[in-house]
Chains A and B, each alone.
Chain A
Amino acid sequence: MTNWNMLTLVGEDRPGIVAGVTDALYRRQWNLGEASMIRLGGNFTIMMMVSGDGDLYAELKQVAVDMKLRIHVDPIVGMLHQHVAPNIQVRVAGADRAGIVAQVTGALAEAGFNILELESDVAGLRDKPVYIMNIQGYSEAPVESLRDAVAPLVAQGMDVDVSPIETMVG
């Protein structure tokens, strides 16, 4: 069985981070698995499954220094080909205030919804920020019961749209 690590890298965004990091991994014969890399608030963030032999932290130290990245390694129990296709999508938009994410995800969790992916952003004007969130997840419970679960939040003026995702296979 392959031994995977979860490699986390965070630093101020600049051109060449992905190329620099993946080149360093390639040269030392590390294999890459699933990854998420995204710019958040001017920082570049990488979370990546990496497998191979050796001291991952030590071998990436130089590129981390060069690129001014903070680095973190966790050995994980995990493997590839464990995908779960989402069957429900939840879109949320509302005036930015404390507790939006906790309230929406709390209501959904209680209804049996499992989050597979969540993206959120703050849009709108600087003095009138709007929190926008897009969640993809899996639920055995029907769409209607998830809608019921978030209904109290909708009543408070938040836009919460729960819709099914039908994956077209062909």
Chain B
Amino acid sequence: MAALEILTIPDERLKQESLAVERFDDELRSFIADLEETRQHGPAAVGIAAPQVGRFQRIVIVDVSNTRKPVPNHGYMVLVNPEITHWDGYEIGREGCLSVPDYTGNVIRATHIRLKAQNPDGETLEYEMEGFEARAVQHEIDHLDGMLFIDRVVSRRTDLFQRKVYQKGKGKKGKSN
């Protein structure tokens, strides 16, 4: 096992779309172990996505079981080929990213999501989650679509009621921040 190097902005590869995982083998599981080690290695991150270490496959890890104030959670989750099937509600929350050093900003995310994914052995998983954990999963899945939270940052003055919820792949190309 080894901690991997994290891509940081303005690395163009962070805008690349990741491909579905098709082979659930030992190589995949060994990569996932390295990805988790990388997550734990850096500043307190509750999630990480494979493209952040330059592997453009649809794999994310989320674990929000260690926050200062406990939040509803499913513990350590490896989500392969994750797909949000339902989202509901929205709120503003503050986010940072291992790939965006020295910056945090406010982002609107769905408060409740339902999710389908596979585990590292290829078995189907289904989750229903809320709040901070749902936020983390949406942030990580964005990475798989080549999106960063800085593509979604809003001002605190933003009127929530005039905004749409989580929009997939919105404004991905040609953004100048």
**Residues of chain A at the chain B interface (Cβ within 8 Å):** 81, 83, 85-86, 119, 134, 136, 164-170
Given A83-B104, A85-B104, A119-B156, do A170 and B98 touch, yes or no (CB 8 Å)? yes
Residues of chain A with a CB closer than 8 A to B140's CB: 170
Q: Is the CB of A168 within 8 A of B132?
A: yes
Residues of chain B with a CB closer than 8 A to A86's CB: 94
Nearest-neighbor residue (CB-CB) of B47 within chain A: A170
Partner of A85, one of B94, B97, B132: B94
Partner of B43, one of A164, A166, A169: A169
Residues of chain A with a CB closer than 8 A to B156's CB: 119, 134, 136
Minimum Cβ distance to chain B for residue A118 (Å): 11
Stretch at the interface among B27-35, B61-69, B114-122, B168-176: B61-69
Q: Is the CB of A169 within 8 A of B68?
A: no
Bound complex: CA of A106 vs CA of B67, how far in Å? Answer: 30
Q: Is the CB of A169 within 8 A of B102?
A: no
21 CB contacts below 8 A, A to B, read A81-B102, A83-B104, A85-B94, A85-B104, A136-B156, A164-B68, A165-B94, A166-B67, A166-B68, A166-B94, A168-B95, A168-B96, A168-B136, A169-B43, A169-B44, A169-B97, A170-B45, A170-B48, A170-B49, A170-B95, A170-B97
Interface: B58 (CB within 8 A):
no
Residues of chain A with a CB closer than 8 A to B132's CB: 166, 168
Nearest-neighbor residue (CB-CB) of A81 within chain B: B102
Minimum Cβ distance to chain A for residue B46 (Å): 6
Bound complex: CA of A168 vs CA of B111, how far in Å? Answer: 14
Interface of chain B residues 118 through 149 with chain A (CB within 8 A): 132, 135-136, 139-140
Nearest-neighbor residue (CB-CB) of B143 within chain A: A170
Residues of chain B with a CB closer than 8 A to A136's CB: 156
Nearest-neighbor residue (CB-CB) of A170 within chain B: B47
Bound complex: CA of A37 vs CA of B68, how far in Å? Answer: 34
Residues of chain B with a CB closer than 8 A to A81's CB: 102
Additional pairs, 18, CB under 8 Å, beyond known A166-B132, A169-B45: A83-B104, A119-B157, A164-B68, A164-B69, A165-B94, A166-B68, A166-B69, A167-B96, A168-B46, A168-B95, A169-B97, A170-B45, A170-B62, A170-B95, A170-B97, A170-B98, A170-B139, A170-B140
Pick the most buried of A167, A168, A169, A170: most chain B CB atoms within 10 A of its CB: A170
Interface of chain B residues 145 through 162 with chain A (CB within 8 A): 156-157
Mark interface residues in B64-76 (1 if CB within 8 Å of A CB, else 0).
0001110100000
Residues of chain B with a CB closer than 8 A to A169's CB: 43-46, 95-98
Minimum Cβ distance to chain A for residue B41 (Å): 13
Q: Is the CB of A83 within 8 A of B157?
A: no
Residues of chain B with a CB closer than 8 A to A167's CB: 94-96, 104
Nearest-neighbor residue (CB-CB) of A165 within chain B: B94
Residues of chain B with a CB closer than 8 A to A134's CB: 156
Bound complex: CA of A167 vs CA of B98, how far in Å? Answer: 12
Nearest-neighbor residue (CB-CB) of A117 within chain B: B156
Bound complex: CA of A138 vs CA of B169, how far in Å? Answer: 33
Bound complex: CA of A85 vs CA of B68, how far in Å? Answer: 15
Bound complex: CA of A91 vs CA of B150, how far in Å? Answer: 24
